[in-house]
Structures are given as C-alpha cells and as structure tokens.
Amino acid sequence: MTFGLKSYPAYKDSGVPWLGEVPEHWGVRRIKTLFREKDERSGDGRGVLLSLTRSRGIVPQAEASNRIASAEDLSKYKVCRSGDLIMNRMQAWSGMFAVSPQEGLVSPDYSVFRPIDVSDVKYFEHLFKTPILVDQFAQRSKGIGSGFNRLYTPDFGSVPIVVPPLPEQAAIVCFLDHYHREIRRYIRAKQKLIKLLEEQKQAIIHLAVTRGLDPDVRLKPSGVEWLGDVPEHWAVMPLRRVTVSRCDGPFGSGLKSSHYTDQGIRVVRLQNIGHAEFKDSHAAFISPSHYSTLGDHTVEPGDLIIAGLGDEHHPAGRACVAPAFIVPAMVKADCFRFRLFRQRLDPGFAALHLTATAVDASSFLSTGATRQRTNLQATTSRAVAIPPMQEQFEIVQRITNETSSLRLAIRNANREIDLLREYRTRLVTDVVTGKLDVRGVKLPSEESGEAQDELETVEDIDVEEMNDTEETSDGDD
C-alpha cells in the first residue's frame, strides 16, 4: 500500500486559519454554494426505509437494526435519491455523512442535500468525515449536550471548504476507493484471526467452567436443558440462591445521556460488559446530586455485572466483575448488579461460567423477537453449576494460564487494527485536504477476487458502531 505520494508543487493561503494552505489551483467555497437542502416528504409512506451507519454508509434499515417501520411511521419521512448527500443532524459532530446509493426514505432527523452544480459527491463525503471538518461541525452544532446537539442547515452551509477541480475530485475518490478496499482486506484478515483465537479461548473456558479440570470426572444430568451434564459433585441452583442482593439500572427518563457529566458517579453500561471482562472504554458519569434521585443502583468492587441485552456479537447474559477503580459507580438500564455470597460462589468464576453459557441460556431466557433481551427476574432464576470453592479458584487460575497467550495475540491483533484505522484516517485527511497529491498515481488493476472480497462474512465493523447500536436501544433517547 505504499504509493509514494508527495505534496503539491505549489500552495496558497486559503484565507481560513483552520484550513491553512491549500493547493494553488484549488478553490475555497462555502458549503451552501455547493449543496442545497431538499425537504421532500413521503406523504403516503411508500418507499424503502434507509438508515445511516458508520461503517457501511446508507443501507436499508432492516439490515441496520432488524426493525421495519409501519407505513404510518414513514408518512413524514424524507425522500432521498441516488447520489444525495445524507447528514445525521444529531451526529454530524462525529462525521455521520454518506452518499445514498439508492432512492428511499430517511429519518426526519436527517438532512438531505443535493449538489447545486456538477461535483463528485463522494469526495465531499470523505471530506466531511475528516477530523478538521468534524471539529467545525461540532463547534457549530447546537443543543443540550453530546448526543443531542444538532447541526442545522444554515450553520452547516456557512462552513468554508476546499474544492478541487472536478477531474481531481474523481481521481481522489478513485484512489480512496482502492485504498479502502486494501485496508478492509488487512482488517478482515486480522478480524478472522481474532475470531479463531476467540473461539479457541472460549472452548478452553467453556470446558473448564462446565466440566471442571478432571477429564475423568463422573457426570450427572444438571436438570437444565441448556446446561447439560455437569460434574457429579457440583451443585446446580438458581443464581438467587448465592446472591446477597441484586438490582438493575433505572429505566425511563430517570437516566439519559443528557444527564452525563465529565466526572462523578461512574455509570456501568452495556458497552462495559465484555466476555467475562470489564471494558473501561466509553466512560460515562452522572453527578452525585442526580444519582441521589434515582434510588439504590450502587456497584461495589467485586460485584457481578450481567448484561440483559445482547446481539450476535454480545450475547445477553454475559457477565464481568466490577473492578475497584470505577467506584463510586452504578448500573444503567439493562445492566444487572449481583452481590454474591462469596463463601459459595467466586465472582470471577461466576463471570466466566455465565459468559460461557450465555448463548445457550439466552435462547431460553430471552424475550426479544429480533434482539436478545432478558430481565432481572429471569436472570435471578438462571441456573448455575457451582464447584467447591477451592475448585473454583483452581479453574479460574487454569483458565488464566492457558488463555494468556491467546489473549495477548488478540490484543496485538486488535492493536494492529486500531493502527490501520488511525493511518487510514490520516491518509484520507491528507488526500482530501490537499496535503498529498494523488494525480498520476497508477493503481493496480482489481483482481477477480474483488467481488468476493466485498461479500466476506467478516466485515470491517468498528466496535464503536456495535456499541452505539446497543446503547441506543436501552433508553438513552
């Protein structure tokens, strides 16, 4: 992927401090001179409902969220046509733009723009996602906080941007299309490796937490269909039998993303519940004064945190142990806190056991038609197989030892993916803002396997997008 790109031979002052110098032959224009908003409503509600996603652009909403709106829902939706630029007004500050590949209907909270004169709209999609433009959109967005700020058309239109000649716009788009395909191939290869490593790790964990460490141990029926046989000397009982106290997060309008602050009481969300591990990204907080109005949803170090909502990537019923560094903390909606009777059940073993059996358990306990969802009552009744305490400790230690190399390999592969994405962002920014010249770059011909590459089952989906999808379903909005 080394193209030997160089700077343009001559630059000029753009006259805009944050744009700096631009190629001498490029123009600088305000967005409103290039695009005009179209507000055509459906009326009869007929048409394909489209949704704007981070990794795949505009797609039919059934593919984005497994949800189909009724005709009545669509009557006030906006009409978009192939080649229109779509902007999510509430997420413009995070680069939510895409060119529509087809005619359809989009949310009233989206804005639909059509080019005023001839231009390559795909170039502007790339440009509007760059950090330098995203920062300008964020500054011009108006509202009550992150997630609720909207970028209105007059503010969007007033932003000055660089405009290359049309042939150069096309050359940039061609270069970036090829480059994105190459990056996707690298990322998909890493994702496939991670999937294989995760499967190997989960196989080790599942065997240990359901059969123990002795391969010759005598088994007995657990009496639970999805749990199967367990070691004869293990106890099988509902989770409530080894629980001191439990709670779920506040539902409804009591806690929304608009309540989040920069510090205070840590809010444990679905994004934080990994596969038997706490994920510290996506930190959110609320003020102590607001927390005092919500009741007791407190999380203490060593508490078991269980997810009540899941999908194919994050099964409902997965669990983790609350670390000490997040205290003071509370759980959010669809997150359940269990404080265990530790003389009977170690939280570390419980998190591994619940996560390893989550997929099978959720098929029996979930209530959602399209997404896995379970409630606190069902989770309280969920059966767990419990070895003697010393054996629990030994199982956890064995799993730690046997999976350490796999976890290291997974971390390294994820880090490589992060670096690829960071490099992609930098390169795209440099190309679309004129820091690097792609004119005359000879791209290799696409191989016959390119079409198949686009149909790979492992997609270049950012973890943040999956987390966003999950979070928007638990009462934030």
Question: CB-side exposure of 158: number of CA atoms within 13 Å?
Answer: 10
At 336 the three-state DSSP class reads strand
d(C-alpha 333, C-alpha 474), whole Å: 6
Q: What is the pLDDT of residues 426-458, one digit of tens each?
A: 999 999 999 999 998 888 776 544 444 443 444
| Chain center to CA of 335 | 17
Residue 278 near residue 420 (C-beta atoms within 8 A): no
At 152 the three-state DSSP class reads coil
Which stretches does DSSP call E strand in 269-310? 285-286, 298-299, 304-307, 309-310
User: Which pLDDT score is estimated for 195?
Assistant: 94
Q: Which of 44-58, 235-249, 430-444 has the lowest mean pLDDT?
A: 44-58
Supply angle C-alpha 119, 122, 128, rounded to 5: 100
Amino acid at 426: R
Q: Phi and psi dihedrals of 18, rounded to 5? A: -80, -15
d(C-alpha 412, C-alpha 79), whole Å: 44
Q: Structure tokens of 206?
A: 């599942």
- Please state, in angstroms and as integers, the Cα–Cα distance from residue 259 to each residue in 17, 188, 287, 448, following that order: 35, 37, 8, 52
User: Which pLDDT score is estimated for 302?
Assistant: 96
Q: Phi and psi dihedrals of 468, rounded to 5? A: -60, -45
User: Which pLDDT score is estimated for 172?
Assistant: 96
Residue 467 pLDDT greater than 80, yes or no: no
- The residues with which 28 forms a beta bridge, in sequence order, are 162
At 340 the three-state DSSP class reads strand
CA-wise closest residue to 431 among 16, 15, 26: 26
The residues spanned by each domain of the chain are 27-163, 216-386
- Please state, in angstroms and as integers, the Cα–Cα distance from residue 29 to each residue in 108, 122, 130, 162, following that order: 28, 17, 17, 7
User: Which pLDDT score is estimated for 366?
Assistant: 64
Cis status, amide bond into 328, omega within 30 of 0 = yes
Residue 286 near residue 261 (C-beta atoms within 8 A): yes
Q: Which helix or strand (DSSP H or E) is residue 140 part of?
A: helix 131-140
Instruction: Indicate if 216-386 has the same CATH topology as 27-163.
Output: yes
User: Which pLDDT score is estimated for 360?
Assistant: 87
Domain 27-163 has CATH 3.90.220.20: yes
Residue 94 zone, left/alpha/beta (φ > 0; ψ -120 to 50; rest): alpha
Residue 119 binned pLDDT confidence (cut-offs 50, 70, 90): confident
Could you give the angle at which helices 121-128 and 389-432 cross, rounded to 10 degrees?
Answer: 130
Q: What is the pLDDT of residues 276-294, one digit of tens each?
A: 999 998 889 999 999 999 9
Supply angle C-alpha 12, 14, 17, rounded to 5: 125
d(C-alpha 463, C-alpha 477), whole Å: 20
Q: What is the pLDDT of residues 328-382, one digit of tens each?
A: 999 999 999 999 999 999 999 999 999 999 988 877 766 655 568 889 999 999 9
Q: 216-386 has which fold?
A: Adenine-n6-DNA-methyltransferase TaqI; Chain A, domain 2 (3.90.220)
Q: Which of 57-71, 402-416, 428-442 has the lowest mean pLDDT?
A: 57-71
Residue 78 pLDDT greater than 70, yes or no: yes
Q: Structure tokens of 63?
A: 């593919």
Q: What is the pLDDT of residues 176-219, one digit of tens each?
A: 999 999 999 999 999 999 999 999 999 999 999 999 999 999 99
Mean pLDDT score across all residues of the chain:
87
d(C-alpha 393, C-alpha 346), whole Å: 8
Q: Structure tokens of 178?
A: 């090829």
Instruction: Give, as one character, the DSSP assignment of residue 301.
Output: T
